[in-house]
């Protein structure tokens, strides 16, 4: 085993690490991508042994120190942070299984999926994906959303331009295979390029370029289930159209009667702006960019993971007429998000000048993150 490993016998591997590890009497190691995982295993083990419990960082995988810092920082306001997914794409791959590509891009909306259909997807989901949804549905409570908003929406962590944020997001290291998987920056460029090829307006192209920048939450130490995942309203009954609905039984809000009626703490048709949605990269980025984009683009950013609404047609009773009109655009955006990944690798340096100009058309040189 390499230098710096905790000495002494390995007394057992936390259940959460088992899918990634192999162990003999004295050693623990990760199965794949040896160097990167050695660092991660070391970090995790260090914190685990120091605190006597299992630490969870998102997959920033940088150094022992940063993982430790992230872990300590999150301990005060979240409960049990984990990285069930090997990489964030596992969630997106699961979305693609649930929503296979349709021939013409406008046919993406297929409301009213049957209960059995959901059960089929749930039954065939990978264990990592299942665990991810279990945590997401368990911990995304009404209070959790408020606390994350207080924590992040002061936007005082960094000042960065859009391209700089793209490069920052690209430092997210996970178990993706660099030879076959696209990087975060490539996903953004591919999405934007496909929108551009279909001759959509410039703001639409720009939205494709930026839509996932909120995933930098991972680099601030946030757990996967508080960054990605299908989003849903909190503070009212969970729609049956949310995948893995059964996992909500463990959410403390299930024992709050005021959150368990159809409308919960909201009023019929008052509009989504009044509604608290589960916390993740959509809402965070929306708050960063909302002053600079047209309304259609703001909806795309803010609700692109709100699959229960934009793909299943749920929660229309919380929407006002403006929301209903704008969801047309959220639906128009979704195929570009889901189905552009298989195309060829974009040439970043060739594309950069076009996109720098487009960014400058809408955004100041620096934004608060």
141 or 184: CB nearest Fe ion: 184
State the virtual CA torsion across 303, 307, 312, 313 in degrees, nearest 10: -10
Span of 4-12, 81-89, 204-212, 351-359 interacting with Fe ion by CB under 5 A? 204-212
Span of 115-123, 207-215, 234-242, 266-274 interacting with Fe ion by CB under 5 A? 207-215
CB of 42 to Fe ion, least distance (A): 30
When asked if residue 212 is in the footprint of Fe ion (CB under 5 A), the reply is yes
Span of 23-31, 151-159, 210-218, 248-256 interacting with Fe ion by CB under 5 A? 210-218
Beta-carbon neighbour count of residue 237 at 10 Å?
A: 15
Closest CA to 338 of 181, 108, 126: 108
CB of 301 to Fe ion, least distance (A): 9
CB of 135 to Fe ion, least distance (A): 18
CB of 146 to Fe ion, least distance (A): 22
CB of 304 to Fe ion, least distance (A): 5
16 or 212: CB nearest Fe ion: 212
CB of 208 to Fe ion, least distance (A): 9
Using CA atoms, how far residue 185 sits from 57, 341, 351, in Å, is 21, 12, 12
3-state DSSP call for residue 292?
coil
Cα–Cα distance measured from residue 245 to residue 231, given in angstroms and rounded to the nearest whole number: 12
Mode of pairing for the β-strands spanning 28-30 and 367-368: unpaired
5 or 203: CB nearest Fe ion: 203
Of the candidates 113, 283, 337, 358, which one interacts with Fe ion according to CB under 5 A?
337
Count, residues near Fe ion per rule CB under 5 A: 2
67 or 129: CB nearest Fe ion: 129
16 or 283: CB nearest Fe ion: 283
Closest CA to 206 of 358, 364, 333, 365: 358
For 294, list phi and psi in degrees, rounded to 5: -65, 160
Cα–Cα distance measured from residue 67 to residue 75, given in angstroms and rounded to the nearest whole number: 12
Span of 154-162, 165-173, 206-214, 235-243 interacting with Fe ion by CB under 5 A? 206-214
Q: What is the DSSP string of 190-246?
A: HHHHHHHHTT--HHHHHHHHHTTGGGGGGGGT--GGGTSS---BSSSPPPTTSTTGG
Span of 6-14, 192-200, 209-217, 253-261 interacting with Fe ion by CB under 5 A? 209-217
67 or 228: CB nearest Fe ion: 228
3-state DSSP call for residue 146?
helix
When asked if residue 296 is in the footprint of Fe ion (CB under 5 A), the reply is no
Cα–Cα distance measured from residue 139 to residue 80, given in angstroms and rounded to the nearest whole number: 9
Touching Fe ion, residues 88-127 (CB under 5 A): none
Buried residues in 56-74 as b, exposed as e (16+ CB within 10 A) = bbbbbbbebeebbebbeeb
Helix axes 202-210, 184-197, angle to 10 degrees: 160
CB of 211 to Fe ion, least distance (A): 6
253 or 337: CB nearest Fe ion: 337
174 or 212: CB nearest Fe ion: 212
| Side-chain-facing half-sphere of 321: CA atoms under 13 Å | 0
212 or 230: CB nearest Fe ion: 212
CB of 215 to Fe ion, least distance (A): 7
Cα–Cα distance measured from residue 36 to residue 41, given in angstroms and rounded to the nearest whole number: 9
When asked if residue 283 is in the footprint of Fe ion (CB under 5 A), the reply is no
CB of 142 to Fe ion, least distance (A): 23
How far is Cα of residue 18 from the mean position of the Cα atoms in its chain?
A: 23
Residue numbers at the binding site for Fe ion (CB under 5 A): 212, 337
């Amino acid at each position: 085993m390499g230098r710096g490993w905790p000495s002494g016998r390995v007394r057992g591997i936390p259940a959460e690490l088992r899918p990634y590890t192999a162990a003999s009497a004295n050693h623990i190691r990760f199965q794949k991508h040896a160097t990167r995982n050695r660092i991660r295993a070391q970090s995790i083990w260090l914190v685990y042994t120091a605190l006597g419990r299992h630490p969870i960082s998102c997959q920033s995988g940088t150094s022992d120190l940063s993982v430790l810092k992230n872990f300590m920082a999150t301990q005060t306001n979240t409960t049990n942070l984990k990285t069930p997914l090997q990489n964030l794409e596992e969630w997106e791959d699961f979305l693609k299984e649930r929503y296979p590509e349709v021939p013409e891009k406008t046919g993406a909306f297929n409301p009213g999926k049957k209960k059995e259909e959901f059960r089929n997807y749930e039954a065939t989901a990978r264990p990592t994906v299942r665990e991810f949804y279990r945590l997401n549905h368990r911990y995304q409570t009404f209070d959790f959303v408020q606390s994350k908003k207080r924590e992040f929406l002061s936007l005082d962590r960094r000042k960065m331009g859009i391209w700089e944020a793209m490069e920052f997001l690209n430092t997210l290291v996970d178990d993706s295979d660099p030879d076959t998987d696209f990087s975060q920056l490539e996903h953004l460029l591919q999405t934007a390029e496909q929108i551009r090829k279909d001759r959509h307006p410039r703001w639409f192209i720009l939205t494709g370029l930026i839509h996932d920048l909120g995933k930098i939450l991972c680099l601030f130490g946030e757990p996967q289930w508080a960054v990605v995942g299908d989003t849903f309203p909190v503070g009212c009954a969970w729609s049956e159209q949310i995948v893995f609905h059964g996992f909500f039984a463990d959410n403390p809000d299930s024992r709050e009667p005021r959150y368990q009626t159809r409308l919960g703490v909201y009023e019929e048709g008052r509009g989504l702006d009044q509604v608290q949605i589960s916390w993740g990269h959509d809402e965070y980025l929306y708050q960063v960019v909302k002053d600079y984009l047209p309304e259609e683009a703001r909806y795309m950013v803010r609700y692109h993971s709100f699959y229960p609404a934009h793909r299943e047609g749920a929660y229309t009773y919380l929407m006002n007429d403006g929301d209903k009109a704008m969801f047309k655009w959220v639906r128009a955006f979704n195929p570009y998000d889901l189905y552009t990944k298989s195309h060829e690798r974009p040439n970043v340096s060739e594309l950069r000048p076009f996109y720098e100009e487009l960014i400058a058309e809408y955004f100041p040189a620096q934004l608060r993150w």
